[in-house]
Structure 1
Amino acid sequence: MQQLSDSEISAIKDESARAYELDRAHVFHSWSAQELIDPMTVSRASGSTIVDGQGQSFLDFSSQLVNTNIGHQHPRVVQAIKDQADLLCTISPAHVNAARSEAARLITDRTPAGLDHVFFTNGGADANEHAIRMARLHTGKHKVLSRYRSYHGGTETAVNVTGDPRRWSNDRGDSGVVHFFGPFLYRTEFFATTEAEETERALRHLERTIELEGPSTIAAIILETIPGTAGIMMPGSEYMQGVRALCDKHEIIYIADEVMAGFGRSGKWFAFEHFDVVPDIITFAKGVNSGYVPLGGVIMNEAIYGSFAQKAYPGGLTYSGHPLACAAAVATMKAMDEEGMIEHAARIGEEVIGPRLRQIAENSKHVGEVRGVGAFWAIELVWDKESREPLALYGGGSPQVASVVSSLKELGVVPFSNYHRLHVVPPINISEEDLETGLGVFEKVLTDLDFSR
C-alpha cells in the first residue's frame, strides 16, 4: 500500500472517529460482551495490508477470519463486481444467471469426478446446515457425528456440530449430534506416543462410537478436513482414508467441511486432496471469493443429487447464487489459476513459513508446537514445553496471550488468535517481502517471551 499523505490520514481519522462512534452506539458484535470490547477500526486495505482508524498500516496475518485468501482489494475481483453490477445486481435464484452458472462450472472443474452439482448458500454455516439436511433426507437417518475441537458455524445445527466451547450455550443435547475425539498427538486423548498409534487409536475410537451409537441411526460424519479455528491439527492420510472406509462400511455420508481449508489455503484447491480421499459432500465459503461478497455452497455427488432429482429439496435462500458474489468467485478462481497462487501457497508453506516457525519454536520458551501446511499454520503457546500447559485455558483467554497479541500489533502485524494459539494465516498470495517482515515480527515477539508464575 502506498504511503498515505497527511491530508489522507486526517480524513481517515475524521471518518473513522465517526464510524467508531456509530458502531459503539448501534452495532451488535458477534461472540462478544458488547460493553467490554474496543474494536479496531479498519479504514482501508490493499493486498496484505490493512489501515486502521489512525492511518497506521498493519500486515494482515489473519486474512481477517481466514477468508481473504487473495488479499484485499484484488483489482480483478473488484472490477468483476463492478462489471456485474452494471449488468445485473440481483435476481431470484429460481432464474438462471450467467455468473452463477460459470461459478458452478469452475468450482466443479476442481472437484473429483462425480461431484458435479452445487447448491449455493450465503456462507459456511448455512452450507453446513444444508449439507446435513441433505444427508439426513438422503439416508433417512438423523444422527450426525462430529469431532471435538472443530468449528462448523454459528447457526442452529452448525453450532451444535461444532466441537469447541462456543457450542455450550446453544447445546440442549437434543440436536442429534454425537461428538468424538479426532487425532491430535500433541494433546493426545489416546495415550499415544507416535503418529501411527494416534491414528490407529483414533480410528478405533470412532469405529466404537459408530457401533455403540448404532450405524442405522447415523446419517453423516462431518469433518473439517484440516480443523481451522480449533487448531490446524493435521490428520494423516491413514486416518482420513479410515474415516472414508468406515462411512462406506456403514452407509454414512462423509461431509468434508472445506470452508476454511479450501480454495488454496492449504496449498491445494481442496485440503482433502492431501489425503487421497473423496467426500460425498463438500461445503465451502470464505476463500471461494475471499469474502468480497458473501458466498458459500454445498457440492454433492450423484447419489445425493439423485435423491432430489424427482422430488423437491425442501430448502432454499433468497440470495442463493447471488450474481455479485458469483462474479467475484469467478474472478477469484481465475486469478488464483493465472497468478499461480495455489502453487505459491504450497511453496511458501514448505520453504518459508514452516522452517521459520520451527526455528522460532526451538528458540522460544513458550512455543510448544508449530504445525500446518501451505498458508495455514498454528503456534501453540504454553507455560513450558515439558508440561505443555496452555498459556490460556481452552475456551478462554489470558493476560499473557493478550500481551503477545498486543506486542505483535505494536510492531505492525495483526495475527489470528484463539485461546492459547496464534495462527499464521496470511493471504496465500502474500509477497515474500511481506511474509519475511511479518515472520520477523513473530520471531522477535515470541523469542523474547519470558512468563513466570
Structure 2
Amino acid sequence: MLISSEIESGASGSTARSNAELSRLAQENCFTFGAEFLPGVVTRAEGMYLWTASGQKVMDWTSGQMSCLLGHGHAEIVKTVTESARSLDHLYSGMISPPVIDLATALVNQLPRGLDKAMFLSTGGESNECAIRLAKLFTGRFEMVGLAASWHGSTSGAQGVQYNAGRKSCGPLMPGMHMLPSPDAYRAVFRNPDGSHDWKTELDYGWSMIDKASCGSLAAVIVEPVQSSGGMIPLPPGYMRALKAHCEQRNMLLIVDEAQTAMGRSGDLFAINHADNGGVVPDILTMSKTLGNGLPLSAVVTSNHIAQHARENGFMFYTTHANDPLPAAVGLKTLQIVLRDDAALLHHARRMGHQLHAGLHDIMSRYACIGYIRGRCLMLGVEIVKDRREGTTADIEVGKRISAKAMELGLSAMISAKSYFSGCIRIAPPIIISDEEMQWGLRTFEKALELTEGSGRIRENGLQTPL
C-alpha cells in the first residue's frame, strides 16, 4: 500500500524518484495488457525525445504508439489543451460544440466527395467498432472480412477481423468473421513466373474461399493502406481498386482504417490519396492516433447517404467521450498545422522517408539478419530473419535483442515481437525529424546491430562475422 507521502508526490514528483522505486511501484500496482513494461520509466517527453527516471535520453523512433506525428509536447498543441481544459473540456454526448463542428468541417473539406459527415470518438478500436456496426446496419448483413496481419483494435468486433493473440482464451469471437491473405510480397505463396508477388491471384483465391464459407450475409471489408503491426506492409499498386471491385460484386461496403497513415505520415495527407490506390473512395473511413497527435481522438467519416440511413434507422453508438470538445480542438489544431505547413511538411516527410529508406538499405548490405525493408514514407519495417541468404525464416529473438540494445543506446525502435507478426522492427518517427536526428538514429541502429549476437555481420569477402 502507498504511504501518504508517496501519494502526495504523485506525477509531479516522479522525476525525483529513482527508476528502481518507480519500477517497483509499477510491478506492484499496474496491470499489464499483453506485454511487459520496458525497464526505463519515462518521466518526460519533448519533441523527438523521451527521458527516463534514470536520466537516459531516448530518441523516439516510433512516435509513441505510432501517434505523435508532430512530436511530443508541440507548443501549439500544449496551448490548445490548456485553453480547452480551461474553457470547454467535456460535454454530454448529445451536445455539440464549435471544436467538433470545426474539425468535422475541416476534415470533410479535405476528403473526397462521398466522405461527407464525421463523428469523433477516443480510440482506433472504438472507431473501427463503430464503422463495423454502421456497415452492418446499412447493409442489413453481418459478415465481415479483414486481412491477415492487420490490426484494428481490441474491441470484440475489431478483434474478429484480425489475427493476433488477443483472440485467444476469451471465448468465441463475433460470428461471421472472415480473413483474406495479407499481401506480403516477402513471404508470398502466390508468385508469377518471374518470382514476383502475384497478389491478384492471391486476392481472388482468398475471395473464392470466403464465398464458400459465407452464409450469404457479407456486409463489409476493413483494410489498412499500410499494415503496420503486420510489419509495415503497403497494399500493392492496384490492390485497393481490385478490393473495391470485389466489394461491389457482392454489394459490400469498403472500410479503410487510417489510424497511422493519415495526416501526412505516409507522404500524402491521407493514404487513400496515394496513386497506388487508384482514386478509390471508401464507404467509411476511420482515423485515430495521428489525428490527435497522440491524444485520445478518433474519427468515423462516411457518406451523406449512409449517415442519413443510420439516422433514420436508429443507429446508436453512445460512449462517454463521443464528440468531446477538448480532443476535437486538439485534432483541429493538428490538422491546421499540417495544412498550414502542407507543402513544406509533407515534402519534408517524403524527403526524410527517402533518407530513412536509403540508410536502412545501406545497413542491410552489412547485416544478414535484415531480410527485407518495406513500407511507405516514414512508415518502414525491417524484417529480422536468421539469414536472408538462406531464406525468410523470422528470428524474433534476435529482433528483440536488437530492439533492446537500441534502447540501451538511446533509440526506441520497437519490434512486433509476436509470431503472427513475423518479428519486424517498425520505424515511424515524428515527421518533424531533422536530417541530423535521422542520421544519428541510423548510426545508432547500426551500432545496435553490431553489438547484438546473431545479427550476422557480413565482411567484405561476403562471409559472416561471428560475434
Question: How high is the TM-score relative to the length of structure 1?
Answer: 0.90
What residue in structure 2 maps to residue 287 of structure 1?
Answer: 290
Residue 207 of structure 1: how far off its partner (Å): 3.0
Hey, what's the Cα distance between the residues in 2 that align with 1:38 and 1:259? 24
C-alpha separation between the residues in 2 aligned to 1:391 and 1:401?
A: 6
Conserved 8 A contact 1:160-1:171: no
Could you tell me how far apart the structure 1 residues matched to 2:130 and 2:195 are? 34
Match of 2:380 in 1: 377
Query: In the alignment, what sits opposite 2:25?
Result: 22
Aligned 8 A contact 2:190 2:199 in 1: no
Q: Give, in angstroms, the shift of residue 74 of structure 1.
A: 0.2
Residue of structure 2 in register with 1:245 after alignment: 245
Q: 2:370 aligns with which of 367, 371, 385?
A: 367
- Output the CA distance in 1 between the equivalents of 2:366 and 2:441: 17
Amino acid at match of 1:323: P
Quickly say closer, same or farther: Cα 1:15–1:106, change in 2 above 3 A: farther
2:91 — aligned with what?
Answer: 91
Q: Per-residue deviation at 1:450? A: 5.3
Distance in structure 2 (CA, Å) of the matches to 1:335 and 1:165: 37
Aligned to 1:141: 141
TM-score, L = length of structure 2: 0.87
41 and 450 in structure 1: CA distance in 2 versus 1, 3 angstrom threshold? closer
Q: Is 1:345 aligned to residue 363 of structure 2?
A: no
Structure 1 residues 343 and 193, CA, compared in 2 at 3 Å: closer, same or farther? farther
Q: Which residue of 2 aligns with 1:306?
A: 308
Offset of residue 163 of structure 1: 2.1
Per the alignment, residue 463 of structure 2 pairs with none
Shift of 1:16: 5.4
- Matched residue of 1:316: which SS? coil
| % identity of equivalent residues | 26
- The equivalent of 1:421 in structure 2 is 424
* Alpha-carbon separation, structure 1, partners of 2:173 and 2:325: 39
- SS of 1:211's partner is helix
1:158 is matched with which residue? 158
Which shifted more, 73-82 or 257-266? 257-266
| Paired residues of 1:183 and 1:198 also in contact (CA < 8 A) | no
What are the superposed Cα offsets for residues 257-287 of structure 1, whole Å, 9 maximum, x if unpaired?
Answer: 1112222211112212221221111111000
Q: Per-residue displacement from partner, 1:158-190 (whole Å, max 9, x unpaired)?
A: 112122333233462553211120311101132
SS at 1:90 equivalent: coil
Match of 1:437 in 2: 440
Distance in 1 of aligned mates of 2:174 and 2:103? 37
Instruction: Give the partner amino acid of 2:415.
Output: S
Summarize deviations over 1:306-357 as a string: whole Å, max 9, x none.
212323212211211211111111111111222333332122112x011111
State which of 327, 352, 358 in structure 2 corresponds to 1:325. Answer: 327
Partner secondary structure for residue 169 of structure 1? coil
Instruction: Decide whether the 8 Å contact of 1:371 with 1:379 is kept in 2.
Output: yes
1:11 deviation in Å?
A: 7.4
Task: State the AA in 2 paired with 1:388.
Answer: T
* Counterpart-to-counterpart distance in 1, 2:350 and 2:62: 18
Residue 174 to residue 327, structure 1, CA distance change in 2 (3 Å)? closer
Cα contact 2:96–2:323 (8 A) shared by 1: no
Quickly say closer, same or farther: Cα 1:93–1:173, change in 2 above 3 A: closer
Distance 1:197 1:14, change over 3 A: closer
Alignment of 1:148-227 (within 5 A): 148-170=148-170, 172=172, 174-192=174-192, 197-214=197-214, 216-227=216-227
1:185 alignment partner, SS class: coil
Q: Give the unaligned 5+ runs of structure 2.
A: 1-12, 418-422, 457-465
State the alpha-carbon separation in 1 of the partners of residues 18 and 402 from structure 2. 29
Cα distance between partner residues in 2 of 1:193 and 1:74? 51
Distance (whole Å) between structure 2 residues aligned to residue 404 and residue 23 of structure 1: 25
Question: What SS class does the counterpart of residue 106 from structure 1 fall into?
Answer: helix
Residue number in structure 2 paired with 1:230: 230
The answer (yes or no) to whether the contact 1:160–1:167 under 8 Å persists in 2 is: yes
Q: How far apart, in 1, do the equivalents of 2:66 and 2:37 lie?
A: 21
- The one-letter code matched in structure 1 to 2:393 is E
Q: Is the 8 A contact 1:288 1:333 kept in 2?
A: yes
- TM-superposed deviation, 1:211: 2.8
Task: Please give the secondary structure, in 2, of the residue aligned with 1:128.
Answer: helix
Q: How well do the aligned residues superpose, as a CA RMSD in angstroms?
A: 2.2
CA deviations over 1:384-435 (Å, ceiling 9, x no partner)? 112111012xxxxx2x223211211122101121122111111111122111
Return closer, same or farther for 1:168/1:191 CA change in 2, 3 Å cut-off: farther
Q: Distance in 2 between matches of 1:431 and 1:216?
A: 52
Match in the other structure for 2:127: 127
Q: Is the 8 A contact 1:256 1:279 kept in 2?
A: yes
